[in-house]
Structure 1
Amino acid sequence: MDVLLSAVASDVIGRLVSFLISKYQEPSATADAAAKLQRALLRARAVVEEAEGRQIANRAMLLQLSQLRRELCRGAYTLDAFRWRAADPILAITGVAAAVESLEAALGDVRELVVLLGACPPRVTRRQPYCAYLFMESCMFGRQMEKEQLVSFLLQPPAQDLLAVLPIIGAHDVGKRTLVEHVCLDERVRGHFTWIHRLGSDDLDRDHEQHDSSLMDDATTARSLFVVDLADGEDAWRRFLLSMSRRESRESKVVIISRTERHSALGTVPPLRLLPPRREELWYLFRGLAFGGADPEDRPDLARIAVALFEGFMLLDVSPFTTVSNLAATLRSDMTARAWRRVLNVSAATTVFLPDHSSHTGGEIDNLPEFCFLCRPVRGDACRSTPFLFCDRRKSTTRGDHGELPRVTLLELVTGRAAVDVGETRFDVLVWRSRIPPYASYVVACDVERARRVVVAGEKRVRKRRRGQ
């Protein structure tokens, strides 16, 4: 009996000592793993930024760069989540260790890439400071591989008698038009083609004999690029393609922009598919835009708010690049904790109405749009009784003058920096306006009257639930 008690006591004491040792060693191990990840991130960032300043034509190099950028974003997301978001310590250190291992493996795989980058020509120096900032603020973030792939298609000599056609397929607002515009502005493409024509589905619906004669003359005598924004109408496209094939130069190219997967069969080469950005990539973009030149480590209070804002706004599964850019620009305009908390309060008080919205309104509000959201301003208690329902989102790519766009932005309205005129029940507000081609602008309608009805319906539904209990 004494031997059994002695063995049990020894086992308990041993377990207790092991627990205490691991408990005291855990913060040190976690800090070491975080420091190691930070050093790996600096190395990866140096390689990625150097590569983004080069014209890389090798597809394998572009693929390696894309993988390294993905691991860079994943590592930054893991490190920031470990620092600024409360989590289980065991899971946190496990995630940091896994990120370190994955990122160091990716860095080891790109050693040859670093050497080969020295042979790649640099981009135009005079545009580098301008483009480097706006490249991150636009939908071009993380699209270097796709851009070089499209440039390679446009510059390669014709391999067959048919007119070369490349479809670009992607979901709504993943950056298809922005990618094409950046390629069209590239000096290599502008020097290769004499004319660049942009056509929509309405242009294809016209009879091919009634197309603009100047366009036909240009296509017959010069090397041309046709950018076709195709919504539907494969028959109109085939008539247009037949007309072009009879007249244009064999060195001309056609790029199709479409959301429909079946349009990928219209190309003479495999389609270029744009995938939505990952959460880690969006966080890397959002952090860089929101803090600008500031270091998040110097502002831990703002960093925690930024993490909460990002997680909240990512629930709005629509236009990720637009949401991130708009939100980051608003935060960067006022780098105070009070202003950032105000935006966070707006996010917390936002109600999203999905297509199946009957559960939100109790069936009393009819004909709500497929996607709309309800916000309450945060200026003060007196204004909280005036909710805003935002719906009917529209996108415009009008070039040049933005004078017809609304002057009031969505975040200015809901954060209290803009007021509503007395008696105004429905008006347009500006969600976001891009500063680079194709100068896309996003506008939504603010319906004050319908917002009040939605709030009343929601309150009635809450009271019914309480009575039912």
Structure 2
Amino acid sequence: MEALLSAVASDLVGRLISFLISKFQEPGSTTTDDDVVRLQRALLRARVVVEEAEARQVTNRAMLLQLNQLRGEMCRGAYVLDAFTRRAVERSRRRPHATARRSLGLPPGSDATGELSVLVDTLEAALSDMREFIVLLGACPRLNRQPYSFYLFMETCMFGRQIEKEQIVSFLLQPAKDLDVLPVIGPHEVGKRTLVEHACLEERVREKFAKIHYLNSDNLILPSHEHHQGLIDTAARSLFVIDLAGGDVDEEERWKRFRSSVRRRAHGESKVVIISRTEAHSGLGTVPPLRLRKLRREELWYLFKAMAFGGSDPEERPELLRVAMALFAGIPDLTPFAAVNKIAASLRADLSARSWRRVLKVSTGVTVLQLGAGEWGIYYPRVPVKGAPPNAPCLFYDRRKSTGMARSELPTVTMLEVGRGVEWAGEKRFDVLVWQSRIPPYASYVATCDMERAAKVEAGKKRRLNKRRRGQL
């Protein structure tokens, strides 16, 4: 009888423990953890394939399309995985789970667990389809570069434009018919000039064209002009890269006269590449235009994280990863490349949580102001940070972009230094270097910093704040 009662009691205790475990265990946690591990392994495999493919000269268009799809799934997977990592950190701090989803742009009502499971299956399916790709990749010649760090590799080459570059190179290497023209169309700051420049630097293109001429709307005049006596060589193939600004009523007429003259005098194998933001210019080509899209937020996050952490492993620094996500969430869609590179460089200069939190604190108060008709400025407030030099409020405006400028011609003080409290020889209004690209055509971004104007903006904000406080009393 005692043995029976003992068995019944053990069974009841066991059932009670099982009931309590099932009641308080988070639903789907085991499945989610398994999916996270699977996603980490799949991302590692995808990164190996993508980096190896980017180090080789792939000319097969179908292989490039497959590589582009895998790269997109890889960036999306890294994006979602980092969101889950931050959510785990926020959960340990007893903060709302929606913070991580909101900071990376995930829909607030989405089923994150279901999305993770679907993403893992999609990425693993994409990897299983890459078997033939990997075999064919071994026959592609390796490029002459030896990147010794991932962020250096991404800083010194284009990101996510391999298929578009090969499309331009393929157009240039095809036999010409009658002055073939390829329009490259895309929105502002999407990388059109950088893409064309990299295509022109290809050894295959350099070997085919004896001369490469870069023109714009201002100097698009008749080649018979005295400044263009040596522009056209009838005995050698020439490549004309023409940057059309758009909006000029006489621009299209000048282009027609220019093309007519080049067709009469240039070598029969000469070609033209047009760069433009205007969709109307897509009809100027003899072949379908190449349209560039903006990179997705997932792709920009992949680029930003790699350059911000440098050679460090983000998984070993969860606190820095949390700050990086918050900073990335504040990067506007306008001019994302310059903003991503500028902020990433400021973070990589000091891989400490204190420095990163200071950058976040400064960036949190940044506002965009309309200074006048068509004039916009970026206002950096005064941010006191313990143990750091005080910074004065700054107002940056009149941002302009230039290419081909020597380092000696650029401002010696950078926007990052001004944000850290460095003043330029006691002046209140001076030019600063916002960011300089490290890849051709080496574009430089310069802006004007006005301390006095910023002080007036800050004084106006304080008056409005005090008035609002008095109204609440």
Q: Common fold, TM-score beyond 0.5?
A: yes
Residue 127 of structure 2 aligns to which amino acid in structure 1?
A: L
How far 1:168 moved relative to its partner?
A: 0.7
Measure how far apart 1:237 and its partner are.
Answer: 0.8
Match of 1:393 in 2: 399
**Could you tell me how far 1:210 is from its partner in structure 2?**
4.1
Q: Distance in 2 between matches of 1:207 and 1:249?
A: 14
Deviations 1:380-401 (A, max 9, x none): 58976831111111101024x2
Q: Quick one: distance in 2 between partners of 1:289 and 1:239?
A: 46
Q: Establish whether residue 347 from structure 1 lines up as the match of residue 347 from structure 2.
A: no
Q: Please name the residue that 1:407 is paired with.
A: 412
Which of 286, 293, 308 is 1:268 aligned to?
286
Matched residue, 1:376: 381
Distance across 2 between alignment mates of 1:110 and 1:185: 29
Verify the 8 A CA contact 2:222 2:261 in the aligned structure 1. Answer: no
Matched, 1:367 2:369: no
- 1:94 matched to 2:114? The reply is yes
Q: Which of these residues, 210, 221, 244, is aligned with residue 235 of structure 2?
A: 221
Q: TM-score, normalised by structure 1?
A: 0.86
Matched, 1:449 2:452: yes
CA contact (8 A) 1:376 1:386 kept: yes
Query: How much has 1:173 moved relative to structure 2?
Result: 1.3
Judging by fraction of residues, say which structure has more helix.
1
CA contact (8 A) 1:139 1:321 kept: no
Q: Gapped runs of 5+ residues in structure 1? A: 1-12, 358-365
Task: Assess if the C-alpha contact under 8 Å between 1:292 and 1:332 holds in 2.
Answer: yes
2:47 is matched with 45
**Letter matched to residue 223 of structure 1:** R
CA distance in 2, matches of 1:147, 1:173: 17
Counterpart for residue 423 of structure 2: 419
Cα offset, 1:52, TM superposition: 0.9
Conserved in 2, the CA contact under 8 Å of 1:289 and 1:329?
A: yes
Which amino acid in the other structure matches residue 363 of structure 2?
S
The 2-side partners of 1:297 and 1:130 are apart by 20
Q: Cα distance, 1:431 vs. partner?
A: 0.6
Aligned to 1:458: 461
Compute the displacement of 1:207 (Å).
Answer: 6.8
Partner deviation per Cα, 1:351-388 (whole Å, 9 max, x = no partner): 222xxx4xxxxxxxx62753321113546589768311
Give the aligned partner of residue 123 of structure 1.
Answer: 143
Greater mean alpha carbon deviation, residues 298-307 or residues 72-81: 298-307
Residues 466 and 303 (structure 1), Cα distance of their counterparts in 2 relative to 1, 3 Å cut: same
Aligned residue in 1 for 2:442: 439
- Secondary structure class of the residue paired with 1:374: strand
Among residues 171, 184, 203, which one is paired with 2:187 in the alignment?
171
Normalised to the residue count of structure 2, the TM-score between the two structures is: 0.85
Distance, in Å, in 2 between the alignment partners of 1:208 and 1:105 is 59
Is 2:57 the partner of 1:55? Answer: yes
Residues 208 and 240 in structure 1, CA contact (< 8 A), matched pair in contact too = no
Counterpart residue identity of residue 436, structure 1: I
Please say if residues 377 and 415 of structure 1, whose CA atoms lie closer than 8 Å, have aligned partners that are also in contact.
Answer: no
After TM superposition, give the deviation of residue 438 of structure 1 in Å: 0.7
What is the distance in 1 between the residues matched to 2:219 and 2:153? 31
> How far apart, CA to CA, are the structure 1 residues paired with 2:146 and 2:385?
44
In 2, the alpha carbon distance for the partners of 1:311 and 1:301 equals: 16
- 1:198 aligns with 214
Q: What stretches of structure 2 of length at least 5 have no aligned partner?
A: 1-14, 91-96, 102-109
Verify the 8 A CA contact 1:409 1:431 in the aligned structure 2.
yes
| SS in structure 1 at match of 2:175 | coil
Query: Secondary structure of 2:59's match?
Result: coil
**Per the alignment, do residues 303 and 116 of structure 1 end up closer, same or farther by CA in structure 2, a change over 3 Å counting?**
same
Q: Give the distance between the partners of 1:271 and 1:131, measured in 2 at CA.
A: 35
State the alpha-carbon separation in 2 of the partners of residues 304 and 163 from structure 1: 53
Distance across 1 between alignment mates of 2:72 and 2:149: 21
Equivalent residue pairs, number: 434
RMSD (Å), alpha carbons:
2.7
Distance 1:307 1:24 in 2: 26
Secondary structure, counterpart of 2:432 in structure 1: strand
Contact 1:77–1:284 (Cα < 8 Å) also in 2: yes
SS at the partner of 1:215? Answer: coil
Seen in structure 2, the aligned counterparts of structure 1 residues 427 and 209 have a Cα distance that, compared at 3 Å, is: closer
> Partner of 2:459: helix, strand, or coil?
helix
Structure 2: which amino acid aligns with 1:56?
V
**C-alpha separation between the residues in 2 aligned to 1:130 and 1:84?**
29
Deviation at 1:115, TM superposition (A): 2.2
Q: Per the alignment, do residues 451 and 324 of structure 1 end up closer, same or farther by CA in structure 2, a change over 3 Å counting?
A: same
Please state how far the C-alpha of 1:21 moved relative to its aligned partner: 4.9
Distance 1:251 1:237 in 2: 19
Report how far residue 122 of structure 1 moved.
Answer: 2.2
Counterpart for residue 8 of structure 1: none
Match of 1:283 in 2: 301
Find the aligned partners of 2:190 and 2:324 in 1 and give their Cα distance: 23
Correspondence 1:238 to 2:256: yes
CA distance in 1, matches of 2:131, 2:164: 22
Deviates more, 1:137-146 or 1:337-346: 137-146
1:108 to 2:128 alignment? yes
Deviation at 1:56, TM superposition (A): 1.6
Contact 2:431 2:447 in 1 (8 A): yes
Cα contact 1:138–1:325 (8 A) shared by 2 = no
Query: Displacement, 1:408?
Result: 1.2
